[in-house]
Amino acid sequence: MQATQIDGETWVRIAQSADLDIPRPVMPITLQGRRLVLFRDDDGQLGLIGRHCPHRGADLCYGRLEDNGLRCPFHGWHFDRTGQCVEQPAEPEGSVMYQQIKVPMVPVIERDGEILALLGSELEQSAGKETGK
Amino acid sequence: MISEELNKRITRVGPGTPAGAVLRRYWQPAALIEELEHGARVPVNLMGERLALIRDDAGQLLLATRVADADEAPTHYPPSDQIQIDADGPTYPVVQRAGAVFAYLGGGTPPAFPDFDCFRAPDTHVFAFKGLWECNWLQALEIGIDPAHASFLHRFLEDEDPDQSYGKQFRDKAGSTNIPMTKLLRDYPRPDILVDETDYGLKITALRHMEDGRTHVRVTNQIFPDAICIPMSREMTITQWHVPVDDRTCYWFTIFTSFDKPVNKELMRAQRLKEHSLPDYAPLKNRANDYHYDPSEQASLTYTGMGLDINVHDQWAVEGMGAIQDRTQEHLGRSDVAIIRYRRLLRRAMDALEQGADQTLLMQEDETANMRGPLSNDAIAQSDDWRNASHQADMQRRAACPWDASV
């Protein structure tokens, strides 16, 4: 894996920008055994977040890319590019449980047509170490 | 979230495990009766045990242990003449009911069969089928006691003509109205969910309060320990077991029960065989082919992009969690209330068996043979009358039924 040092931090190439030049820019990424999902939101910004929905573990790689984020098809929980849950449409009206729910997020940058992810504490803390498929 | 230790305790079912001990106290569907055509010996892979259906000297069907390689695939299905019986292994009694062969792996005297609709209806009015899911049985069961997911996972962005819906879940009209179920589920995604403990498990009531002052009432059931009973259409219910093959693989076994007309078994079977391969009833859409996921369909027609068969949606949801869902990472919400209550029942049963309090387990007494129902239906009622209206709707259906469906 190609590593780049930027300001003393280690970033690795995880994809080409062109990989996401598709109608639905979402792709699975496995980085150091961590299962993640990479997507581009309506703002054109990238999100690299844990692949399993923090609700009951559904696979967000099949998520609905809509409303400027990724929505789990199981119960409609919606996540923005930072991994923050912003909506739980099956929970009772007025519930604020979503504010406490966040999928681990790994920082990414895009430069010279390449997408780089930060190897650091965020990745280490991200859930979903591969546990068999 | 639960601890890794507890997750292990409630999911593992091999011989000698606490959850396995609970499942073994109940009759479990082991094969479809149509599998008996395989030959004199029919492979059965159940709860981590490698077994085969054979006949004893008196011609009586029973389940015996077969000789198996350690690296066999979970659903290994050898030809009849290649099955060797392990004479030292345990044997288990079996009974043929409603299109399935049920087995009792618990030792001692098996409990009575409850007199549920699926076991009372004549052969003309029941149809059994099964399908393979590559995941632990508990996550397969838990999706069946989660009434909220239908508003999302099974969402159709357009409504099909309900008159073309025979044999399909969620495609009938809702209650006695002309509203397609697909529309009702889509428009009201936040059901109030009530859970009542019963003598068979849990009664789960999902209420969708409509804008016009009416309420859609959907009554489903958890039948302890690993089955559900839910409405499919006005005419049919689904009684479905989620039976472990091993810890990482399970079968759903469904008995479709019709209250009115005889089941069109030929059509039901053809619809399902089109989606599965034999001899292991493995779904043709699966993880290896991305469940035929189509992003353009997801954008315009279905919530998942995986076609119209809701079984595939469920399969994707539960298999995508990993072979055994890591519940140390879950965050259950209000919509998961029945799952929380169910795990409590399971833990209570595991504890009871460990403490020798076997008699406290559900459905072990002789009276089990008199247990009827359970009521499973969809109804729409004025909101202040939903409880009565739901009951009446089921009673009407039962009263008009050509076989004795009284409760």
In tens, the pLDDT along A59-90 reads: 999 999 999 999 999 999 999 999 999 999 99
Cα distance between residue A35 and residue A28, in whole Å:
7
The pLDDT value recorded for residue A122 is: 79
Single out the residue of B387, B371, B377 nearest to residue B117, CA to CA. B371
Q: Are residues B266 and B333 located together in one domain of the fold?
A: yes
Interface with chain B: mutation pick from A56, A70, A97, A131, highest number of B CBs within 10 Å: A56
The pLDDT value recorded for residue A127 is: 58
Q: For strands B236-246 and B227-231, give the pairing.
A: antiparallel
Full residue range of the structural domain in which residue B177 is found: 4-10+116-399
The pLDDT value recorded for residue B164 is: 72
Summarize the confidence of residues A90-102 as an average pLDDT: 96
Q: Are residues B347 and B395 located together in one domain of the fold?
A: yes
Give the list of residues 6+ apart from residue B154 with CB closer than 8 angstroms, or none: B169, B170, B182, B185, B303, B310, B313
Q: Is B317 on the interface with A (CB under 8 A)?
A: yes
Tell me which residues of chain B, numbers 20 to 79, contact chain A at a CB-CB cutoff of 8 Å: none
Summarize the confidence of residues B374-386 as an average pLDDT: 91
Q: For strands B214-223 and B377-382, give the pairing.
A: antiparallel
Please state the CATH superfamily assignment of the domain spanning residues A3-123 in this structure. Rieske [2Fe-2S] iron-sulphur domain (2.102.10.10)
Whether omega before A23 lies within 30 degrees of 0, making that bond cis, reads: no
Q: Are residues B206 and B70 located together in one domain of the fold?
A: no
Confidence of residue A128 (pLDDT cuts 50, 70, 90): low
Percent of chain B whose predicted confidence (pLDDT) is above 90: 89
Single out the residue of B280, B253, B283, B233 nearest to residue B127, CA to CA. B253
Summarize the confidence of residues B70-82 as an average pLDDT: 96
* Contact flag B325-A57 (C-beta cutoff 8 Å): yes
**B283 belongs to a structural domain:** yes
**B404 belongs to a structural domain:** no
Q: Given a cut of 50, is residue A102 above it in pLDDT?
A: yes
**B17 belongs to a structural domain:** no
Give the list of residues 6+ apart from residue A25 with CB closer than 8 angstroms, or none: A39, A40, A65
Q: Mind telling me how many Å the CA of A41 is from chain B's nearest CA?
A: 15
Q: Given a cut of 90, is residue B321 above it in pLDDT?
A: yes
* Contact flag A91-B248 (C-beta cutoff 8 Å): no
* Contact flag A92-B322 (C-beta cutoff 8 Å): no
Q: In what order do the strands lie in the sheet with A26-31?
A: A26-31, A34-40, A46-50
Q: Is B323 on the interface with A (CB under 8 A)?
A: yes
Q: Are residues B185 and B271 located together in one domain of the fold?
A: yes
Give the chain B residue whose CA is nearest to the CA of A129: B326
Summarize the confidence of residues A52-64 as an average pLDDT: 98
Q: Are residues B253 and B274 located together in one domain of the fold?
A: yes
Q: Which of B85, B110, B135 is the last residue of a domain?
A: B110
pLDDT averaged over every residue in chain A: 92
- Side chain identity, residue B128: A
* Contact flag B335-A128 (C-beta cutoff 8 Å): no
Cα distance between residue A12 and residue A118, in whole Å:
7
Q: Given a cut of 50, is residue A132 above it in pLDDT?
A: no
* pLDDT tens digits for range A27-40: 999 999 999 999 99
Q: Is A83 on the interface with B (CB under 8 A)?
A: no
Chain A CB contacts of B303 below 8 Å? 64, 73
Q: Is residue B110 within 8 Å of B102, Cβ to Cβ?
A: no
**B173 belongs to a structural domain:** yes
**B19 belongs to a structural domain:** no
Q: Is B4 on the interface with A (CB under 8 A)?
A: no
Q: Are residues B154 and B208 located together in one domain of the fold?
A: yes
Q: Is A20 on the interface with B (CB under 8 A)?
A: no
Summarize the confidence of residues A47-66 as an average pLDDT: 97
Summarize the confidence of residues B53-73 as an average pLDDT: 96
Q: Are residues B252 and B146 located together in one domain of the fold?
A: yes
Cα distance between residue A130 and residue B327, in whole Å:
14
* pLDDT tens digits for range B324-363: 999 999 999 999 999 999 999 999 999 999 999 988 999 9
**B242 belongs to a structural domain:** yes
**B274 belongs to a structural domain:** yes
Q: Is residue B122 within 8 Å of B403, Cβ to Cβ?
A: yes
The pLDDT value recorded for residue B49 is: 97
Q: Is residue B3 within 8 Å of B73, Cβ to Cβ?
A: no
Q: Where are the domains of chain A?
A: 3-123
Summarize the confidence of residues B140-165 as an average pLDDT: 89
Tell me the three state secondary structure of residue B82.
helix
The pLDDT value recorded for residue B162 is: 66
Number of domains in chain B: 2
How many cross-chain Cβ pairs, A to B, lie less than 8 Å apart?
109
Summarize the confidence of residues B267-288 as an average pLDDT: 97
Q: Which of B110, B131, B147 is the last residue of a domain?
A: B110
Q: Given a cut of 70, is residue A121 above it in pLDDT?
A: yes
Sign of CA dihedral B219, B222, B228, B229: negative
Cα distance between residue B122 and residue B114, in whole Å:
15
**B15 belongs to a structural domain:** no
The pLDDT value recorded for residue B160 is: 73
Query: How many CB atoms are closer than 10 A to CB B298?
Result: 21
Instruction: Say which CATH number the domain at B65 has.
Output: 2.102.10.10
Q: Are residues B92 and B132 located together in one domain of the fold?
A: no
Q: Which one has a higher pLDDT value, B157 or B113?
A: B113
Q: Is A102 on the interface with B (CB under 8 A)?
A: no
A38-54 in b/e form (b: 16+ CB < 10 A) is bbbbeeeebbbbbbbbb
Q: CA separation (Å) from B302 to A117, B209, B292? A: 33, 24, 13
Percent of chain B whose predicted confidence (pLDDT) is above 70: 99
Cα distance between residue B151 and residue B174, in whole Å:
14
Chain B CB contacts of A52 below 8 Å? 320-322, 326, 329
The pLDDT value recorded for residue A130 is: 45
Q: Which of B93, B110, B127 is the last residue of a domain?
A: B110
